[in-house]
């Protein structure tokens, strides 16, 4: 049976292979983000190496690549993934393990790659790409006063109205604890220490539940990144958690009256992983090396407000301000890593979620079902 | 006289019976060859994947093969308190062997699905075990992390011992095997699947009812109006049918949200106050409205095609025999439309029970269905065996509905046109 299924899947994939036989195929999230990748480092790399780079969209998760691998017909070379997925993919043997300092270029001043990146990688199969933020924003036309802290997000007395929060427990439990007075500590260590206990999880869930059942509050759950600015603009909610790049695009790109609040923001990372046994592994490795160097990573930040992973890339941006593609907006202050934005933050902990995601997910869904 | 001579022969001397059989056999082969492509298609795209799903949902041989010594040592362990030294030692040996083959990551993934938090401690063990001293495995392993001192983690390993297991099906009903091998329920704050199953059934049922209530008069109008009006009406039914599902779902979001067009209108005519706009989106109401509209054509079309075949003279006959219009409708017309009702309801119910994208978008907290959970395990947790198990449970549910329908109405009574 397995064999027959393999054969069938191979036939289905055969066509797509022939169409991309010589290009390096990268699967990413599409939209404005992939556009920034393509213009920022994809196209320059392809030009420099003489290898075409083809971008395909996917919606995250490892199910597709796992299916390709089981069928013995892998068509993707590089995937843009969450930390959580690099850990799982590495464990399942889907991705190539890197020898970090050898496989990636040092900074222009000679600092080895492993020291130039902001933190260490969650697994041996990951190389950092961007840092983004889970923060919250409000529509200044609909909110009286100025929300400044994470406590204000939960303060329905002072700021009545519905809130939009992410559909799953990820980052919601963290901000709930931060709003109930837990100081995040270094990189959010205190928060995750509390979430390791059942009491901590319960406390966070209760806080969210209280917000969602509050007659003056209430929750809308969002699932796609485009939703939070949309919900704010239509007046459906007064405040929304979301990804900072999307809020930036709405404010700077489209002139919407949206204000971001960075208190207790969750810094999260996006990674590239190299597929083991991909159709063009050798070229893909070369392309990956180039795309993640200082200049190239800084290039993508011209098009979107996500921070490049390398410290040296930030320096390149600072020297080149105004860096945004419109030629007049300074980009560095909009980065989630800017000093003004990182006064109180936590790092989203992939290990915690890789470990406890399923169990907490069940509790979260049960809580939601009882709303 | 022998029976031989009694047989009727064809012109070329072969007994007629034999000749007929031959011809029939030829026809049979021809007929089979004609349906063969379809049969093959169904086997490849339908029967075979379902078989594959089934094996995947019960197959747990991976762990069984990965930890042979551990399971052997565990046979004598009663599973109540922490296992003895031999189990720890056997586990360490097995794990070392796996690490050498670089397969220890897969084990961590699998065990983490059985008991959350396993992956981290196994990785920690992997880092630390190189410095282990000979012997005394229990003490050294337990020193690595407090979870290794928690018997629940060892019970989780023991649970994965059998090569084939029904545990995924139990999990789909919020149950699991406890350490005594008994089936028990999971703790109350984690019972999510049963809620979702019931909600899925409820939503599918009511959507079918709403579709029927709205679709029946429409279909009747379509079948009885003069051609030039009915054609226009038909286009009104079909136009949304040809529009993308996502577009229609998004339009409902714009119409029904709190600051949406419908609410604006209510406020404008003074039906509701501006600060107490009703919530019609991101809850069950939204799911009902959007799904009913999307599935309505699947009810209208079979009803219409059946009603079209009912002669109008039958109603007239009923009335001329003394029935009131209602009696004539109820006794004559309605029974004739039952095949169409059956087809429409079954079609809508089966489509609704597996609905995925609309509830995900408009359902909010109270509107996600079991299909969303299946997608979650396919994509996010990569627990494909659990996703397969739930998929099969859903399929079984649909087959049960089909069976009930067959018992109540009879399946040969269905008419799509």
Q: Are residue A110 and residue A203 in the same domain, yes or no?
A: no
Q: Are residue A102 and residue A85 in the same domain, yes or no?
A: yes
B92-136 pLDDT, tens per residue?
999 999 988 888 888 988 888 888 888 888 888 888 888 888 888
Query: Is B195 in contact with A369 (Cβ distance < 8 A)?
Result: yes
- Surface of B (367-406) touching A: CB under 8 A: 368, 373, 376, 378-384
Q: Are residue A320 and residue A234 in the same domain, yes or no?
A: no
Which residues of B are less than 8 Å from A59 in CB distance? 379
Q: Does A62 touch chain B (CB under 8 A)?
A: yes
B274-296 pLDDT, tens per residue?
877 888 888 888 899 999 999 99
- Surface of A (12-51) touching B: CB under 8 A: none
**Cβ-nearest to A234 among B120, B259, B380:** B259
What is the distance between the alpha carbons of residues B30 and B22, in angstroms, rounded to a whole number?
A: 12
What is the distance between the alpha carbons of residues A175 and A212, in angstroms, rounded to a whole number?
A: 14
Q: Are residue A210 and residue A231 in the same domain, yes or no?
A: yes
Q: Does A215 touch chain B (CB under 8 A)?
A: no
**Cβ-nearest to B105 among A1, A92, A220:** A92
Which residues of B are less than 8 Å from A4 in CB distance? 48
Tokens 């029927």 correspond to what residue?
B212
Q: Are residue A53 and residue A43 in the same domain, yes or no?
A: yes
In a domain, B49, yes or no: no
Q: Is the pLDDT of residue A19 over 50?
A: no
In this prediction, residue B298 carries a pLDDT of 93
Of residues A11 and A108, more confidence is placed in A108
* Domain housing B20: 3-42
Query: Is A355 in contact with B113 (Cβ distance < 8 A)?
Result: no
Model confidence band, residue A231 (pLDDT cutoffs 50, 70, 90):
very high
CATH at residue A96: 3.40.190.10
- Assign 3-class secondary structure to B299-348: HHHHHHHHHHCCCHHHHHHHHHCCCCHHHHHHHHHHHHHHHHHHHHHHHH
Model confidence band, residue A21 (pLDDT cutoffs 50, 70, 90):
low
What is the distance between the alpha carbons of residues B365 and B359, in angstroms, rounded to a whole number?
A: 10
Q: Are residue A204 and residue A155 in the same domain, yes or no?
A: yes
Q: How far is B3 from chain A (nearest CA, A)?
A: 52
* Domain housing A188: 134-268+342-369
A82-100 pLDDT, tens per residue?
888 888 888 888 999 999 9
How many domains is chain B partitioned into structurally?
3
Name which of A4, A9, A63 to mutate to probe chain B: the one with the most chain B Cβ atoms within 10 A of its Cβ. Answer: A63
Tokens 């299909």 correspond to what residue?
B371
Residues A134, A241 contacting (CB under 8 angstroms) = yes
Q: Are residue B379 and residue B260 in the same domain, yes or no?
A: yes
In this prediction, residue A17 carries a pLDDT of 47
In a domain, B172, yes or no: no
Tokens 């001192």 correspond to what residue?
B149
- H helical segments located in A136-257: 150-154, 172-179, 189-195, 198-213, 227-234, 244-248
What six digits make up the tokens of A357? 């995601």
Q: Does A260 touch chain B (CB under 8 A)?
A: no
Q: What is the pTM of this model?
A: 0.79
Instruction: Provide, rounded to the nearest whole percent, the portion of chain B with pLDDT above 70.
Output: 97
- Report the chain A residue with the minimal C-alpha distance to residue B384: A63
Helix (H) / strand (E) containing A334:
none
Q: Are residue A84 and residue A219 in the same domain, yes or no?
A: no
Which residues of B are less than 8 Å from A368 in CB distance? 365-366, 368
Q: Compute the residue count for chain B.
A: 417
Helix (H) / strand (E) containing B369:
none
Strands A24-28 and A78-82: parallel
**Cβ-nearest to B366 among A162, A355, A371:** A371
Model confidence band, residue B1 (pLDDT cutoffs 50, 70, 90):
very low
Which residues of A are less than 8 Å from B196 in CB distance? 365, 369
A285-325 pLDDT, tens per residue?
999 999 999 999 999 999 889 999 898 999 999 898 888 88
- Surface of B (53-72) touching A: CB under 8 A: 55
In this prediction, residue A20 carries a pLDDT of 46
CATH at residue B197: 1.10.3720.10
Q: Which of B373, B392, B393 is nearest to B383 (CA)?
A: B373
Q: What is the mean pLDDT of chain A?
A: 89
Q: Are residue B127 and residue B8 in the same domain, yes or no?
A: no
B36-89 pLDDT, tens per residue?
999 999 999 999 999 999 999 999 888 889 999 999 998 888 888 899 999 999
Residues A229, A247 contacting (CB under 8 angstroms) = yes
Q: Are residue A139 and residue A9 in the same domain, yes or no?
A: no
Q: Which residues pair with A130 in a beta bridge?
A: A270, A308
Cα-Cα-Cα-Cα torsion B198, B201, B204, B210, nearest 10 degrees, comes to -80
Query: Is A236 in contact with B119 (Cβ distance < 8 A)?
Result: no
In this prediction, residue A226 carries a pLDDT of 84
B6-38 pLDDT, tens per residue?
677 777 778 888 888 988 999 999 999 999 999
Helix (H) / strand (E) containing A70:
helix A63-70
Model confidence band, residue B3 (pLDDT cutoffs 50, 70, 90):
low
In this prediction, residue A10 carries a pLDDT of 58
Q: Are residue A330 and residue A350 in the same domain, yes or no?
A: no
In this prediction, residue A279 carries a pLDDT of 92
Q: How far is A37 from chain B (nearest CA, A)?
A: 24
In this prediction, residue B177 carries a pLDDT of 83
In this prediction, residue A174 carries a pLDDT of 96
Q: Are residue B77 and residue B36 in the same domain, yes or no?
A: no
B327-366 pLDDT, tens per residue?
988 988 999 998 899 889 999 999 999 888 888 888 877 7
């Amino acid at each position: 049976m397995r064999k027959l299924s393999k054969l069938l899947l191979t036939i289905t994939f055969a066509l797509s292979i022939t169409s991309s036989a010589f290009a390096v195929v990268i699967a990413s999230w599409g939209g404005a983000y992939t556009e920034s990748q393509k213009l920022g480092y994809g196209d320059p790399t392809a030009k420099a190496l003489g290898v075409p780079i083809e971008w395909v969209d996917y919606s995250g998760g490892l199910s597709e690549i796992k299916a390709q691998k089981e069928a013995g017909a892998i068509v993707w070379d590089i995937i843009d993934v969450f930390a959580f997925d690099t850990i799982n993919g590495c464990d399942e043997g889907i991705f190539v393990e890197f020898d970090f300092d050898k496989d990636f270029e040092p900074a222009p001043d000679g600092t080895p790659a492993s020291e130039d990146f902001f933190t260490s990688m969650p697994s041996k199969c990951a190389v950092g790409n961007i840092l983004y933020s889970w923060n919250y924003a409000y529509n200044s036309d609909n909110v009286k006063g100025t929300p400044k802290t994470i406590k204000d997000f939960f303060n329905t007395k002072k700021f009545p109205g519905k809130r939009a929060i992410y559909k799953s427990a990820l980052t919601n439990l963290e901000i709930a604890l931060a709003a109930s007075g837990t100081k995040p500590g270094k990189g959010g260590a205190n928060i995750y220490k509390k979430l390791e206990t059942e009491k901590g999880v319960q406390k966070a869930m209760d806080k969210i539940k209280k917000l969602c059942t509050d007659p003056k509050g209430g929750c809308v759950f969002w699932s796609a990144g485009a939703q939070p600015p949309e919900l704010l603009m239509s007046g459906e909610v007064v405040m929304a958690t979301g990804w900072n790049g999307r809020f930036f695009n709405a404010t700077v790109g489209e002139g919407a009256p949206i204000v971001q609040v960075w208190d207790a923001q969750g810094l999260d990372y996006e990674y590239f992983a190299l597929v083991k046994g991909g159709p063009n592994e050798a070229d893909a490795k070369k392309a990956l090396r180039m795309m993640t160097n200082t200049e190239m990573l800084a290039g993508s930040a011209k098009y979107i407000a996500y921070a490049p992973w390398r410290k040296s890339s930030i320096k390149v941006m600072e020297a080149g301000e105004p860096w945004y593609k419109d030629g007049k907006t300074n980009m560095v202050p909009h980065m989630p890593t800017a000093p003004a934005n990182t006064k109180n933050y936590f790092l989203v902990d992939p290990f915690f979620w890789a470990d406890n995601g399923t169990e907490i997910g069940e509790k979260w869904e049960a809580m939601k079902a009882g709303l | 006289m022998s029976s031989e001579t009694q047989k009727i022969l064809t012109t070329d001397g072969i007994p007629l019976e034999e000749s007929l059989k031959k011809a029939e056999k030829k026809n049979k082969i021809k007929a089979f060859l004609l349906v063969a492509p379809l049969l093959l298609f169904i086997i490849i795209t339908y029967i075979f994947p379902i078989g594959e799903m089934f094996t995947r949902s019960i197959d747990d041989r991976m762990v069984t093969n990965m930890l042979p010594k551990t399971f052997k040592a565990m046979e004598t362990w009663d599973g109540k308190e922490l296992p003895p030294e031999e189990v720890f030692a056997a586990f360490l040996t097995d794990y070392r062997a796996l690490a050498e083959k670089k397969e220890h990551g897969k084990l961590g993934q699998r065990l983490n699905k059985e008991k959350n938090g396993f992956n981290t401690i196994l990785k920690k063990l992997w880092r630390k075990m190189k410095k282990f001293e000979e012997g005394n495995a229990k003490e050294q392993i337990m020193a690595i992390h407090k979870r290794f001192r928690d018997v629940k983690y060892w019970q989780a390993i023991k649970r994965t011992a059998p090569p084939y297991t029904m545990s995924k099906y139990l999990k789909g009903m919020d149950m699991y095997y406890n350490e005594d091998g008994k089936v028990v329920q999971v703790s109350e704050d984690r019972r999510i699947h049963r809620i979702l199953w019931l909600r899925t059934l409820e939503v599918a049922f009511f959507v079918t009812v709403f579709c029927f209530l709205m679709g029946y008069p429409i279909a009747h109008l379509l079948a009885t109006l003069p051609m030039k009006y009915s054609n226009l009406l038909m286009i009104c039914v079909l136009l949304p049918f040809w529009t993308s599902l996502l577009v229609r779902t998004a339009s409902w979001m714009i119409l029904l949200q709190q600051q949406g067009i419908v609410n604006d209108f209510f406020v404008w005519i003074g039906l509701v106050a501006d600060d107490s706009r009703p919530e019609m989106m991101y809850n069950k109401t939204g799911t009902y409205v959007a799904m009913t509209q999307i599935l309505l054509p699947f009810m209208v079309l079979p009803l219409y095609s059946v009603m079209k075949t009912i002669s109008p003279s039958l109603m007239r006959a009923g009335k001329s025999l003394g029935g009131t219009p209602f009696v004539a409708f109820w006794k004559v017309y309605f029974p004739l439309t039952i095949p169409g009702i059956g087809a429409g309801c079954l079609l809508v119910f089966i489509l609704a029970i597996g609905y995925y994208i609309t509830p995900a978008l408009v359902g909010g907290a109270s509107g996600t269905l079991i299909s969303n959970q299946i997608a979650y395990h396919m994509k996010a947790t990569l627990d494909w065996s659990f996703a397969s198990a739930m998929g099969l449970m859903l399929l079984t549910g649909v087959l049960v509905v089909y069976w009930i329908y067959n018992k109540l109405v009879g399946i040969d009574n269905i008419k799509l046109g």
